Amino acid sequence: MKKIVFATGNPHKLEEIQLILSDYTLIGLDEIGCDEEIPETSPTIQGNALQKARYVVENYAVQNCFAEDTGLEVEALNGEPGVYSARYAGTAKDANANITKVLTKLEHQTNRAAQFRTVVALILEGEIYTFEGIIRGTIQTRRTGTGGFGYDPVFVPEGETRSFAEMSIAEKNKISHRAKAILQLKKFLVDS
């Protein structure tokens, strides 16, 4: 199996993950004709990842598929935005508005600890497998960098002085939450 469907319509995620899974050809949602919004109604990150993978398998005659869901969990905000990260400021999935909401809520906070959590759900020959990656860090008081996507301009990983948005994709892929989960997926696929 050298081709696998990745249940995403996000070209940034597709590019980022294709670099890690370079031995495989990732097929995005547009390539299978899926242009509708896949439901993400689970109260957990793992549940949403699994819901997306199941939706593709059940509705697009796809046998092997993986999906991921990622949440930013901010300590001082009791884990918010968490499962609602993409829609934190509303249903439009506006990354700038989401960042503004987080920065506004943290305005008078000294504790800026946060973590990104990614769960990858794989459906392979009818069996379900999940993989998780976490990276801890802090939320800056302002945006820096022009790369990445989502909350990358305000998130500085532990041990770094730059935000994810200031790193190249290759640098980010060495340490990121998504890369950690995808590397577990890769190992599983190689060993299977």
3-class SS at 189? helix
Question: Phi/psi of residue 7, each to 5°?
Answer: -75, 75
69 part of the active site: yes
Neighbours of 141 (CB within 10 A): 11
Q: Give the side-chain half-sphere CA count within 13 A for 51.
A: 13
CA distances from 89 to 73, 74, 119 (A): 15, 15, 22
Catalytic residue among 23, 69, 94, 152: 69
Q: Give the side-chain half-sphere CA count within 13 A for 160.
A: 22
Which residues are the active-site residues? 69
